[in-house]
């Protein structure tokens, strides 16, 4: 089990991204890419500068990097952080970045995750609506 982040993750927070590369273009990378990667939340402007044509909202996204400059992040799943013993909190969902083992992505290039805390009001409106649905 995991909780959804309601507090917001701050720069410098360390977490773990999990998943595998998806899509036919990444089949050859699946064996090279990690199933999990230790990541650090970076300033949002780092992703804005790296991906200038993506129109990134720093309020709605998390910018992450592998602090060890590992193979890069080609993950397709959640980013979770630990908040206390045995409590995992999903802070982000993979959005985009450059694939791992790409000549331009060696851990120096950040990845962008959708910031879960930004969408909590919307998630709650769907999961716990205040008015019953109409038929």
Is 135 inside any structural domain? no
Is 71 inside any structural domain? yes
Is 91 inside any structural domain? yes
DSSP string, 36-60: EEEEEEE-HHHHHHHSTTS---TTT
The pLDDT of residue 120 is 97
Question: How far is residue 135 from each of residues 17, 62, 127, 131, 132, measured CA to CA in Å?
Answer: 40, 38, 17, 12, 10
Is 132 inside any structural domain? no
* Total structural domains within the chain: 1
pLDDT, greater one: 67 or 13:
13
The pLDDT of residue 19 is 79
Q: For residue 3, what are its two tokens?
A: 């909780």
Domain residues for the domain of 102 are 3-124
Question: What's the CATH code of the domain at 42?
Answer: 2.40.10.10
Is 129 inside any structural domain? no
- Residue 128: pLDDT band (50, 70, 90) is confident
The pLDDT of residue 1 is 79
pLDDT, greater one: 74 or 4:
4
The pLDDT of residue 135 is 67
Is 130 inside any structural domain? no
pLDDT of 5-35, one tens digit each?
999 999 999 999 887 665 555 556 556 566 7
Cβ–Cβ under 8 Å, residues 10 and 117: no
Is 44 inside any structural domain? yes
Kind plus residue range of the DSSP H or E element containing 106: none
Asked if residue 52 has pLDDT above 70, the reply is yes
- Backbone dihedral region for residue 58 (phi beyond 0: left; psi -120 to 50: alpha; all else: beta): alpha
The pLDDT of residue 85 is 73
Is 131 inside any structural domain? no
Handedness of CA 110, 112, 118, 123 (dihedral sign): negative
């Amino acid at each position: 089990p995991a909780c959804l982040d309601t507090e917001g993750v701050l720069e410098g927070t360390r977490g773990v991204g999990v998943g595998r590369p998806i899509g036919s273009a990444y089949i050859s990378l699946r064996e090279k890419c990690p199933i999990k990667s230790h990541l650090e939340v970076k300033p949002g402007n780092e992703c804005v500068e790296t991906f200038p044509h993506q129109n990134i909202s720093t309020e709605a996204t998390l910018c992450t990097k592998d602090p060890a400059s590992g193979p890069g992040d080609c993950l397709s799943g959640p980013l979770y952080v630990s908040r206390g013993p045995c409590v995992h909190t999903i802070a982000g969902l993979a959005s985009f970045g450059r694939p791992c083992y790409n000549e331009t992505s060696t851990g120096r290039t950040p990845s962008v995750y959708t910031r879960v805390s930004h969408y909590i009001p919307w998630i709650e409106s769907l999961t716990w609506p205040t008015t019953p649905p109409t038929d």
